[in-house]
């Protein structure tokens, strides 16, 4: 089979990697970056943009540009663009299509299989949604792997000696911490914890709020409802956050940010690292308890750790690194690129599904992960009765006997929840199903065995068996917030259709651009030769130049159609033929 790529589908940036000669290699995007912004945009002519191209035009197309969709994965959330509602899976699929296309361009072959990473604290619905996004993008998702575990896999490639490590993963939108033991060809996750709504986006937002407040104070201007102005401020805030990881002060200068009654207003504000740390101190503090929880669940003290690994771009923030030192008493390890190590680990895992052979002993590493949250079913009084506790090694299977609550029941409703609270109302409903055909009997007599299976991807399946009749039923939990099979099939079809349309549009733009360059060369030659040309040839050449120029001007790059591209091609071919008759043989025609 072909290559299996590893994908870190991030909140702010995504990354893809592939194994080459037994070593993980980061796949650069078509734009040359080693990571791809997790941004999707829709132009006024219906074109879908992803990555750098989407991010560059965000300031002038803010209402049709989507950021940080990962935070909505597994939720019943939709973004409305041009009158069409898109689910988080569909938006994420556009990002995955971009990564897939860049990987195919790099490898020179089709890519169909991938290992995709998710935050360790993602629940079943979020994992299912990620898998659905991969399907829509045309990828066979061979494995869903936790981000900290993936980073540990990349680390274990060169550091296979026995040790206990803590992976502190603060990305753009999520925070995870995992305690992992690396042994002889074994990477075992001991415990994990985290916060799915804490990340670099929150740090950016604090800077945005600070800038808006200062701008209002100095310029008496309210820009909160100006989407274009706010987009510029957000871009500046993200840049300032990165600069303050290296500098003690930075300047935000945004000319002509606001145009009010008193004329244009310009933002020119200095922000120091001290101010940044002051307005984000509570965010940094929020990472402390999950670290302590993970250590407690693993049953080890911070002093027993051999290494602390930082993952995610937000770990470059000095205050975050200081927090890690204070909690663990150790200097964090800096020999992994926090933006790339997750994708690298994913492609290592992907090698197990292909014919690739890992360099060194790392190819034999066995990966043992855990489930991040407890699984339970609802019993009388809304109580969450646990079948599988958090941090249980996966894959796993657990069963428990239940019975009926009423006389002569012939069916029971089983509701499956994920979370740590005692009552189901406080946990996440994964799904529910009805087991029918139970033999009529008094309450408490029927015996119903409910079994939970968690596969290696952390995805949940449930089976039920009536022990009285022997009737057994296998049920796959489908969260109500996930797409149905019909919706996934439709989204897959649309993704393929738009991919084809985008390719045709890009080809049309290339035809126009090449024709424009060719026209320029012919015009130069025409003027240089002047009256040396025969009058009839000169006249024909002039007419063909004029016709091609007219076709090019009429076809605007952002709105060019395949029909217009065809007309340009015909005009260009005719001009090339006429130029050849005139003795002008310039390469570069279509």
As given in the structure block, the two tokens for residue 46 are 């219906």
Q: What is the pLDDT of residue 241?
A: 96
Q: Which residue in the list 3, 8, 102, 453 is annotated as catalytic?
A: 8
Q: Does 359 have pLDDT greater than 70?
A: no
Nearest by Cα to 499 from 98, 41, 54, 61? 98
pLDDT category of residue 123 using cuts at 50, 70 and 90: confident
Strands 140-146, 113-118: parallel, antiparallel or unpaired by DSSP?
A: parallel
Instruction: Work out the percent of the chain whose per-residue pLDDT is above 70.
Output: 93
**pLDDT at 478 exceeding the cut of 80:** no
Task: Read off the pLDDT of each residue in 156-170 and give the average, rounded to a whole number.
Answer: 80
Q: Find, among 444, 429, 425, 431, the residue nearest to 383 by Cα.
A: 425
Predicted local confidence at residue 362, as pLDDT: 46
How would you write 467-526 as a 3-class SS string?
CCCCCEEEECCCCCCCCCHHHHHHHHHHHHHHHHHHHHHHHHHHHHHHHHHHHHHHHHHH
Q: Nearest CA to 36 among 3, 11, 73?
A: 11
Say what the pLDDT of residue 247 is: 94
Active site residue 8: yes
Per-residue pLDDT at 365: 67
How much is the pLDDT for 475? 60
What does the radius of gyration of the chain's CA atoms come to, in whole angstroms? 29
CA 497/CA 491 separation, integer angstroms: 10
Given 169, 176, 202, 204, the catalytic residue: 169
Kindly state the tokens that stand for 3.
């290559």
pLDDT in tens, 504-541: 777 888 888 888 888 888 888 888 876 677 888 888 88
Cα separation of 520 and 442, whole Å? 90
Give dist(CA 544, CA 559) in Å, integer.
Answer: 24
**Minimum mean pLDDT range among 1-15, 311-325, 532-546:** 532-546
Return d(Cα 557, Cα 202) in angstroms, integer. 37
The predicted model gives 195-203 an average pLDDT of 92
Q: What is the predicted pLDDT for the residue at 474?
A: 63
Could you tell me which residues are beta bridge partners of residue 21?
Answer: none
Round to whole Å and give the CA distance between 118 and 140.
16
Determine whether 147 is an active site residue: yes
Q: How much is the pLDDT for 580?
A: 85
In this predicted structure, the answer to whether residue 163 has a pLDDT above a threshold of 60 is yes
Only one residue has tokens 């619905």, namely: 125
Query: Which one from 3, 52, 55, 70 is the annotated catalytic residue?
Result: 70
The token duo for 117 is 């990473």
Cα–Cα distance for residue pair 145/352, rounded to 1 Å: 13
- Using 50, 70 and 90 to split pLDDT, how confident is the model at 162? confident
Q: Which pLDDT score, from 0 to 100, does residue 588 have?
A: 59
Query: Which span out of 40-49, 199-208, 358-367, 562-571 was modeled with the highest average pLDDT?
Result: 199-208
Mean predicted confidence (pLDDT) in 385-405: 87
Distance CA 375, CA 392 (A): 10
Beta bridge partners of 376: 386, 417
For the ranges 199-213, 225-239, 396-410, which has the lowest average pLDDT? 396-410
Residue 369: name the closest of 441, 454, 306 by CA.
Answer: 454
Kindly tell me if the per-residue pLDDT of 307 is higher than 80: yes
The answer to whether 142 and 131 have CB atoms below 8 angstroms apart is no
Catalytic-role residue among 113, 132, 147, 453: 147
Instruction: Note the residue count of the chain.
Output: 590
End-to-end CA distance of the chain: 37
User: Is 80 in a helix, a strand, or coil?
Assistant: strand
Give burial (CB, 10 Å; 0-12/13-18/19+) of 312.
buried
| pLDDT reported for residue 171 | 92
pLDDT at residue 360 is higher than 60: no
Give the pLDDT of residue 455.
81
Q: Among 482, 385, 580, 486, which residue's Cα sits nearest to residue 76?
A: 482
Beta strands in 149-272 (DSSP E): 163-170, 175-183, 186-195, 249-260, 263-272
* Residue 254 and residue 231 in contact, taking contact as beta carbons nearer than 8 Å: no
10 Å CB burial of residue 74 (0-12, 13-18, 19+) is buried
């Amino acid at each position: 089979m072909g290559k299996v790529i590893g994908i870190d589908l991030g909140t702010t940036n995504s990354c893809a990697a592939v194994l080459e000669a037994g070593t993980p290699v980061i796949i650069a995007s078509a734009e040359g970056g080693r990571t791809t912004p997790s941004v999707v945009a829709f132009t006024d002519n219906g074109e879908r943009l992803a990555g750098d191209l989407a991010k560059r035009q965000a300031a002038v197309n803010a209402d049709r540009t989507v950021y940080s969709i990962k935070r909505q994965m597994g939720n019943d959330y939709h973004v409305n663009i041009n009158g069409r509602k898109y689910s988080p899976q569909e938006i994420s699929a556009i990002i995955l299509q971009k990564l897939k296309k860049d990987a195919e361009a790099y490898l020179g072959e089709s890519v169909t299989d991938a290992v995709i990473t998710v935050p360790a604290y993602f629940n079943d619905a979020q994992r299912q949604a990620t898998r659905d996004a991969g399907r829509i993008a045309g990828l066979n998702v061979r494995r869903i792997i936790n981000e900290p575990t993936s980073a540990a896999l990349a680390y274990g490639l060169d550091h296979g000696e026995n040790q206990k490590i803590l992976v502190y993963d603060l990305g753009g939108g999520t925070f995870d911490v995992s305690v992992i033991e690396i042994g002889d060809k074994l990477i075992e996750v001991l415990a994990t914890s985290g916060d799915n709504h804490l990340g670099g986006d929150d740090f950016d937002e604090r800077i945005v709020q600070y800038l808006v407040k200062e701008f209002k104070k100095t310029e008496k201007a309210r820009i909160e409802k100006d989407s274009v102005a706010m987009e510029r401020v957000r871009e500046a805030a993200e840049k300032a956050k990165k600069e303050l990881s290296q500098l003690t002060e930075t300047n935000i200068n945004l000319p002509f940010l606001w145009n009010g009654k008193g004329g244009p207003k310009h933002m020119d504000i200095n922000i120091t690292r001290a101010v940044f740390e002051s307005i984000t101190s509570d965010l940094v503090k929020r990472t402390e308890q999950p670290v302590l929880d993970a250590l407690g669940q693993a049953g080890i003290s911070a002093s027993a750790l051999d290494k602390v690994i930082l993952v995610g771009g937000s770990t470059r923030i000095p205050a975050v690194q200081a927090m890690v030192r204070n909690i663990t008493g150790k200097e964090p390890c800096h020999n992994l690129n926090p933006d790339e190590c997750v994708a690298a680990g994913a492609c290592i895992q992907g090698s197990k599904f292909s014919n690739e052979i890992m360099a060194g002993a790392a190819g034999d590493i066995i990966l043992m992960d855990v489930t991040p949250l407890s699984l339970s079913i609802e019993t009388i009084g809304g109580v969450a009765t646990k079948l599988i506790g958090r941090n249980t090694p996966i894959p796993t299977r657990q069963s428990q006997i239940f019975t009926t609550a009423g006389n002569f029941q012939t069916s029971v409703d089983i509701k499956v929840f994920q979370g740590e609270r005692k009552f189901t109302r406080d946990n996440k409903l994964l799904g529910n199903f009805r087991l029918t055909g139970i033999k009529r009997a008094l309450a408490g007599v029927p015996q119903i065995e409910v079994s939970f299976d968690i596969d290696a991807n952390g995805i949940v399946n449930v089976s039920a068996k009536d022990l009285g009749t022997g009737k057994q039923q296998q049920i796959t939990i489908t969260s109500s917030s996930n797409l149905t099979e019909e919706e996934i099939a439709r989204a897959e079809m649309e993704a393929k259709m738009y991919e084809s349309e985008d390719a045709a549009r890009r080809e049309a733009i290339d035809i126009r651009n090449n024709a424009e360059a060719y026209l320029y060369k012919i015009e130069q030659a025409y003027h240089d030769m002047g009256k040396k040309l025969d009058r009839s040839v000169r006249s024909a050449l002039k007419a063909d130049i004029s016709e091609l120029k007219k076709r090019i001007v009429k076809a605007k790059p952002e709105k060019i159609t395949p029909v217009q591209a065809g007309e340009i091609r015909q005009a260009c071919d005719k001009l090339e033929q006429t130029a050849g008759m005139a003795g002008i043989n310039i390469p570069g025609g279509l």
